[in-house]
Structure formats: structure tokens, C-alpha cells
Amino acid sequence: MCRSIKTLRRPEVEVTDEEIRAAALQFVRKVSGFREPSSRNAEAFQAAVGEIAESSRRLLEALPQARARSASTS
């Protein structure tokens, strides 16, 4: 759906709040169809970004750590 959203669950790399917020913003932009909402819609837009960012944080904390992929294929 949102190709510009990168995977945040990565091995040996701690996700930052900025990365989570950026992914949430991209998701809300895609769902709403707004790059920047009007002043009338800004509050709902920002609330959605905050809720999705918080949900994403909880999800990442609940999942086990991602494992690095092995370079060998045997």
C-alpha cells in the first residue's frame, strides 16, 4: 500500500520515534488522500498520526526481535 514506508522491525537496529512517526504520517497521508490537511482537518489528521504511531510502537515492542538473515543458502 505505502511503498515509501520502510520496515521498522530490523535486526540489530533500534527503531527511533522519528522513524515510527514518519511511517505513521505516510500511512495517514495515503489513507486520507491529503499530503497536508486543511486547517479544518489538521486536528483529526494529527490525532490519527499520533494514534498510529503509538499503535506501531506497541506492536514493535510486543514482537520478538527480528533475526538477521544468513548470508549462506546451504
pLDDT over threshold 90, residue 67: no
Cα angle for residues 12, 18, 21 (degrees, 5° grid): 110
More confident residue, 74 or 47: 47
Read off φ and ψ for residue 55, nearest 5 degrees. -65, -40
Cross-strand pairs, 10:
13
List the grid coordinates of 6.
520502510
pLDDT at 65: 80
Query: What tens digit of pLDDT does each residue of 12-59 get?
Result: 788 899 999 999 999 999 999 999 999 999 999 999 999 999 999 999
pLDDT over threshold 60, residue 74: no
